[in-house]
Amino acid sequence: MKLRNIAIIAHVDHGKTTLVDKLLEQSGTFRENQRTEERAMDSNDLERERGITILAKATSVEWKDIRINIVDTPGHADFGGEVERILNMVDGAVILVDASEGPMPQTKFVLGKALKVGLKPIVAINKIDRADERHQEVLNEIFDLFVALDATEEQLDFPVLYGSGRGGWMAEAPTGPQDKGLEPLFDLIVKHVPEPDTASKDEPFKMIGTILESNPFLGRIITGRIQSGSIKPNQPVKVLNGEGSLVENGRISKILAFRGLERVPLDYAEAGDIVAIAGLSKGTVADTFCDPQVTEPLLAQPIDPPTVTMSFIVNDSPYAGTEGDKVTSRVIRDRLLKEAEGNVALKIEESEDKDSFFVSGRGELQLAVLIETMRREGFEVAVSRPRVVMQKDETTGETLEPIEEVVIDVDEEHAGIVVQKMSERKAEMTELRPSGGNRQRLVFHAPTRGLIGYQSELLTDTRGTAIMNRLFHSYQPYKGPLPGRTNGVLISNDLGEAVAYALFNLEDRGPMIIDPATKVYQGMIIGIHSRDNDLEVNVLKGKKLTNIRAAGKDEAVKLTPPIRMTLDRALSWIQDDELVEVTPKSIRLRKRYLDPNDRKRFEKKKVELA
């Protein structure tokens, strides 16, 4: 059967996964009476809860005797490593752009990578049924983006379709016709995307690993595109790493092909097809899986370096091990190394004392998703505030820090406060223009340091109406110190359960972040101090009971609801001397040193060093 391999790439929330749903539906993959879930490709629990794609996934549909392999990719910049890898697997890409928002930072990122690999993209302007759509301006912006990214003349001559992924139609004109459904898109993919080169099928087998997953029955499953040759089950293969060294020898136990949402075992696969293979125990992402006679590995796409790092520390709080069953440094280390195998954008380093690990990634969201996944698996771990990964300029010796391109869409009335707050964070504005509907688009180049924790503040300043998107831009000279958190914290001075009466009497000191009857311990953060210093408080102090009764004495205590600290918010809010304790049931904030005397020693030492 003839093949086409395509990726669907776009910014977060521009409708990739919804479009894949409709492609599967209209190609006859599902029975007419089959009940299907919305966003069928987002199989992971976290993907469904957050409404974003985290892992790249492959599927395939049949259209007029042609099999189209489709790869659905993440749209969030933190998961850009997934997109960079899968571009090796495909011969074409559908760039999806929102008809109202236009090209966004991630559109620019993925398009730049696709053009660099030499793909000739198809542009699909989605959500044309929005009331604030502006398809003509968006098309001009896309063309300008292609030019800015040094597209060749062939790439600049891109075909355009308009439509609605959710409505299940695409057409050459914004007005339709809508009755043909996605037929114009299928036909354009078949016509515009080149067929995989099958001339190499007589050469020895070679495939580069792109997606790694584990299966309880088959073990490690590696997905990739066969670059040359063919394979059959039980065929001997060897695995080479990027330098050409041997990783392992083995046999392929099973070849699986993607057929809709199912995986079907194959007896034979050849050059050009996207398949998953099982049977190897060490081969991983970016390794070359090949015939035993091959000596040279395939070149893997280089991955952008991580920009943010965090410490994962063995939980040493008094409640350690009471809620999770995976608490030792050995199991945490094994889990992190397993994650780094499949996610090449992550980098893991072990500390000298073996009790903590430095995990570096693309952004806070990527690391927060890893922590959330681990806590659901039963892990307990304490994590530090995210820090940026600095670099040294080799010629001048100057310290360089990561700078991000930040695009903020905001109502005109709130633009002033956003500009003010961003300038305090050493950001430089590069563009300000209207984006339709009394909204403005502000574009900044800002240090990554200054953006940690800004998301929640931005939503507060703009009454929840602003949308912020970020993308790594470059490394630039260090911009100097930034303003920190203005409030101190309220710290529990003892171990026990928080009492409502004590919390009520502490409300004058600042808002609480815990409920009554919450288990607390010495050094745990229970509230935000209204002043800039930290304060130790007693939350276990109950009301003194006497047998004298007076009117109005025994009124029920009415507490102000506490501030809820989600994992993402807690990570961005804590300071360098604080940690977030994450367990399967709780998220607690604490001081790095629980004993007040240890904290004083640490502060004294810090002052002496300064």
**441-492 pLDDT, tens digit each:** 889 999 988 888 787 788 888 888 888 888 888 888 888 888 777 888 999 9
Please give the span between the terminal C-alpha atoms of the chain, in angstroms, as a whole number.
69
Q: Which residues are annotated as a binding site?
A: 13-18, 126-129
pLDDT class of 33 with cuts at 50, 70, 90: very low
What is the C-alpha separation between 60 and 556, in angstroms, rounded?
62
State the average pLDDT for the chain.
84
Residue 202 has what DSSP assignment? G
Q: What does the alpha-carbon distance between residue 425 and residue 448 come to, in Å, rounded to a whole number? A: 10
Pairing of strands 92-98, 122-126: parallel
pLDDT of 34 higher than 70: no
43-58 tens-digit pLDDT: 566 766 666 766 677 8
Token couple for 260: 């809709």
In this model, does residue 21 exceed pLDDT 90? no
The single-letter DSSP state of residue 348 is E
User: How many residues can be counted in the chain?
Assistant: 610
Place of tokens 């990719």: 73
Which residues in 32-177 belong to E strands, given as ranges?
57-63, 66-72, 92-98, 122-126, 160-164, 169-171
DSSP, collapsed to helix, strand or coil, labels residue 516 as: coil
Supply the pLDDT for residue 536. Answer: 92
Instruction: Report the range out of 5-14, 141-150, 199-208, 468-477 with the highest average pLDDT.
Output: 141-150
Helix axes 454-461 and 415-424, enclosed angle (nearest 10): 150
Per DSSP, what are the bridge partners of residue 66? Answer: 2, 63
Q: Whose CA is closest to 412, among 446, 437, 438, 385?
A: 438
State the Cα–Cα distance between residues 428 and 403, nearest whole angstrom.
Answer: 10
Local structure of residue 509 (DSSP, 8 states): G
Q: Determine the Cα–Cα distance for residues 362 and 345; give it in Å rounded to an integer.
A: 7
For residue range 68-99, list pLDDT tens digits in order. 888 877 776 667 666 777 787 888 888 888 88
Coil/strand/helix, residue 18: helix
Q: What is the mean pLDDT of residues 339-351?
A: 82
Question: Which domains are present in the chain?
Answer: 2-192 (3.40.50.300), 199-290 (2.40.30.10), 392-477 (3.30.70.240), 489-576+589-609 (2.40.50.250)
**Secondary structure in 3-state letters for 102-126:** CCCHHHHHHHHHHHHHCCCCEEEEE
Residue 181 has pLDDT above 60, yes or no: yes
Residue 344 in tokens: 């090449």
Instruction: Kindly state the helix (H) or strand (E) to which residue 423 belongs, with its residue range.
Output: helix 415-424
Return the amino acid letter for 409.
Answer: D
Per the annotation, binding residues for GTP are 13-18, 126-129
pLDDT tens-digit readout, 528-585: 999 888 899 999 888 777 776 665 555 677 888 898 888 888 888 888 889 999 999 9
**Coil, strand or helix: which one is 595?**
coil
Which position has the higher pLDDT, 267 or 263? 267
Q: What is the tens place of the pLDDT at every residue in 224-244? A: 888 888 889 898 998 888 788
